[in-house]
Structure 1
């Protein structure tokens, strides 16, 4: 009896020992829901000779940790680990084929930073952020980040602590299994880093890699490598992969030749970055489709899911509500339900048929201003030209211009040349030729103009030879018949001090009008 009891106790201890040695699988960070694109680790409690199984098929050899860098529906299933010939229980994973309800993005900074640096993150949820919190996973531990959220807040920016470990994962959630996507930040101690979009690359889209030098942009040469094979080499610090396929997944690095402008001229630096994992995911099955007529649909989404609209502004998608847009711009849509959303639809550009009201008003005001300015200028020049020019009526050959008589004018008035006499008789005008041969030195003959009936007017010759010192003969103008008018000579010799003779003008019919002598 005692022997049987000892055997039973021995079997129990052996079974207990085997149970204690049986490994088990855990997940970190611990996620209640796994969305497409998530990063997480499966860890086996066994530490030696670990073998992984997925849906009872053995996976390639690895360590006690199995990393899933970008979750996809194909990763859904049962996972087991084996250690010391002991298999764990099944650990079931279900990856949802859509994106979470909220968005977490990098607001400032880079996905790869220098050790000790920080970035700011932005959390957005169209239904509000009341009751939300964020989580950080670093060094195999998850910690809660409390957010200061005001009522009706749909967007919040916060700064993370200084980064000191190679990899840190952030995400946000509330108490109803609603959460955001993840953001993974990495650190590097080198002066060169390989930058890429913080979210996984998507099949069919474009992936851009950039070689970044800390503290300078003076990169003269850059080379990009994938799994020890060179991809490109040249002066450009970027490398673009168009139409990404699943074969693009791998480990990438870059090597850059650069200089610092603050240093004196010298040999440039050449540094190789640390390796970075590039993960590629297939577009989610639950994806919305936007037609050219701005009709949004999602055949595989939950029934009666509402659609939200987004406009591309300032290099990011901004939510604009649940009604289709009517103005011009670049738009996309997606279906939304309780815990998730479809991926964004294809992009449609709308060109507005009608210009904005402000532009119309500006055009109308501009046109009215031009018309008003034209009217003002027309009146201004009309007024100026009317004061200078007069329209003269066309006269016949027999019409004469009325004579402005010289005797009726006063000083400052102007005489017009007469084309005919007031009595209707034609007057002849002639210019006597100035014969150079008949002119004597110092004598100038002036032009004679004939007056009425034998009257003759002209300028008498100024004879230099007959002039005495200080004596000047003035010009004589003959008036009516027999009348003679002229200026008396001013003789310097016959003038007394302070005495001046005035000019006399002969009137008609021998009348004489003279000036008296003014004496001191």
Structure 2
């Protein structure tokens, strides 16, 4: 009886096992799925063939593993599988058209590596102090593993993991924070066993981006010549090792390359080699909306017109020119910031469960410490202004000195021993040098030019023992001018105070007698002619001419001499 009961229970268990429902699981187990991720669905509990139903529509795919590469909102829906007539519970997929909080990217190279090799992946997060709270994972085929540790570099504000494929043909790597609320983007690496590789970027090809496809040969320093193909059709006029395409819907397709290369670093006469790469699929997608930067002087403004309404705050980032992985989130969360250090500036919008795409980098080329440039410029400007003021003051003082010199020269010309006479038709007087002869006495003037019928009076210089006495004037007449010369030599026949007419010409010549050797008349010793100054151009009238009185007195004296 007991054996029959045991048999019946065993038969029931067998029947229930044959009727077990399949189960759909989604890998990786992301808290959120972002546009561009690779997602794998696995139908468990049964065997092939497997039917896949998406949003109620049966798919031609019959493998129990379904791989979706570079997912977009077009992949949204309910996923279920059917095995042995049994359907699984549907599993939803919702793709957010946003980017993840943290960034994971290869330090060098692209998405393809050779079998048995690995590649460093660099993790960057906004708060570098929290890097030690992040964990990283890998999905190789259907097996998921967690990295025991990640290498955190606090100085460089980043962490590094070494990604290996092991025996898998492809593997996906990503990182999560401690609370599993935020994650990085996912990086998928693909294995090849060929020496020639076509390396597409590890990041998805987003609409409008520039995508570089690089043809490389394992172990060779460079590829001497490369030929690229799209969908098995050669792309003409491309021989360099890199083919750059603009990500448009028409650019989607399958690419491979043919390379010619040498191991010249091993031997200068190394033989030429060539080979083909594996084909790589390039799928261009319309990614998250991108933020944009507007420049206004030293200010940057971040905006995102195509972002959803819940994208309310702005995050700013600074990256030095020489270190693209040393990206630092700035404390400012305003749409506008002031530029400081030289480097690359970018921004993105926070949209709750994710972020907009980063804006294009704005390269601020000012040197480090550019905040001090304005004071330096102002200082230089003030220095220049100061120099100009000094120069103007010096120029003004120089002009003042020149003016004083001119005034002094003018005073000297109009004053002193001789007075400059300004005549109507410009009479020019030339001072003759000292002479001991009778013809040219000391200090005498030689008339050069005289206008007609003009009387000029010249002040006789003072001299010891002169005959005319103090304050005397010598009248000089013109209109067919008579020239008188004062005789000052000792023993002259005319006697004291005599005058000798020299010549009558239209030009009048006056000579002032100033010889110290001339003798004065008796009774008039010690008397000298007084030097009288007069204004330039001023002439004495006949009424004021003292010469007439002197002449009258002379005429009175002369008859008396004749009588004697």
Who is 1:319 aligned against?
Answer: 329
Who is 1:223 aligned against?
Answer: 227
Preserved CA contact (<8 Å) 1:308 1:335: yes
The TM-score normalised by the length of structure 1 is 0.60
* 1:212 aligns to 2:216 (yes or no): yes
For residues 275-294 of structure 1, what are the structure 2 equivalents within 5 Å? 275-284=279-288, 288=291, 294=301
How far is 1:47 from its partner? 3.0
Q: Secondary structure at the match of 1:100?
A: coil
* 1:73 aligns to 2:87 (yes or no): no
Aligned length: 392
Who is 1:119 aligned against?
Answer: 120
Preserved CA contact (<8 Å) 1:163 1:187: yes
How far is 1:74 from its partner? 1.9
Counterparts of 2:140 and 2:10 in 1: how far apart (Å)?
Answer: 44
Q: Is the alpha carbon distance of 1:231 and 1:309 closer, same or farther for their aligned partners in structure 2, counting shifts above 3 Å?
A: same
Who is 1:138 aligned against?
Answer: 140
Preserved CA contact (<8 Å) 1:216 1:259: yes
Counterparts of 1:304 and 1:280 in 2: how far apart (Å)?
Answer: 25
Instruction: Select 1:306's aligned residue among 313, 322, 344.
Output: 313
Who is 1:342 aligned against?
Answer: 356
Counterparts of 1:305 and 1:366 in 2: how far apart (Å)?
Answer: 44
How far is 1:291 from its partner? 5.8
Instruction: Select 1:256's aligned residue among 234, 248, 259.
Output: 259
Q: Secondary structure at the match of 2:19?
A: helix
Who is 1:27 aligned against?
Answer: 26
The TM-score normalised by the length of structure 2 is 0.56
Instruction: Report which of the two structures shows the higher radius of gyration computed on alpha carbons.
Output: 2
Counterparts of 1:357 and 1:128 in 2: how far apart (Å)?
Answer: 28
Q: Is the alpha carbon distance of 1:249 and 1:54 closer, same or farther for their aligned partners in structure 2, counting shifts above 3 Å?
A: farther
Who is 2:184 aligned against?
Answer: 180
Q: Secondary structure at the match of 2:174?
A: strand
Q: Is the alpha carbon distance of 1:12 and 1:287 closer, same or farther for their aligned partners in structure 2, counting shifts above 3 Å?
A: farther
Who is 1:54 aligned against?
Answer: 54
**CA RMSD for the aligned pairs?**
4.8
Q: Secondary structure at the match of 1:32?
A: coil
* 1:83 aligns to 2:83 (yes or no): yes
Counterparts of 1:304 and 1:233 in 2: how far apart (Å)?
Answer: 45
Q: Secondary structure at the match of 1:160?
A: strand
How far is 1:72 from its partner? 1.8
Q: Is the alpha carbon distance of 1:366 and 1:219 closer, same or farther for their aligned partners in structure 2, counting shifts above 3 Å?
A: farther
Could you report, residue by residue, the CA deviation over 1:176-196 in whole angstroms, capped at 9, with x for unpaired residues?
421111122233343322122
Who is 2:166 aligned against?
Answer: 164
Q: Is the alpha carbon distance of 1:250 and 1:318 closer, same or farther for their aligned partners in structure 2, counting shifts above 3 Å?
A: farther
Could you report, residue by residue, the CA deviation over 1:368-414 in whole angstroms, capped at 9, with x for unpaired residues?
99999999xxxxxxxxxxxxxxxxx9xxx9999x9xxxxxxxxxxxx
Who is 1:433 aligned against?
Answer: none
How far is 1:49 from its partner? 2.1
How far is 1:197 from its partner? 1.7
How far is 1:101 from its partner? 1.7
Counterparts of 2:354 and 2:129 in 1: how far apart (Å)?
Answer: 15
Preserved CA contact (<8 Å) 2:200 2:280: no
Preserved CA contact (<8 Å) 2:128 2:157: no
